[in-house]
Amino acid sequence: MEKWIFLALILFVLISFYLHLFGLIHVLPLLFTSFLLFSSYFLLFFFLHNRNRFRGFKK
């Protein structure tokens, strides 16, 4: 299940990057594409960091 989430997030980053390129050539609004690219990076790094978090010992 985690592999599919990781692949979906990578795909989201790639799509956001290409949309941001369209924003840089003024086809799409740059503010929208910048926010989309930032949020895709944020979600990817949050997923990668949160995966191996120590959650304490079981009682």
> What is the value of pTM for the model shown?
0.81
End-to-end Cα separation, the chain, in angstroms: 27
In order of 8, 13, 16, 31, 55, the CA distances from 43 in angstroms are 11, 9, 12, 18, 20
Q: What is the pLDDT of residues 34-54, one digit of tens each?
A: 999 999 999 999 998 877 777
Structure letter (DSSP) for residue 58: -
DSSP codes, 29-47: -HHHHHHHHHHHHHHHHHH
- The percent of residues above 70 in pLDDT, for the chain, comes to 98
Q: Where do the structural domains in the chain lie, given as residue ranges?
A: 9-50
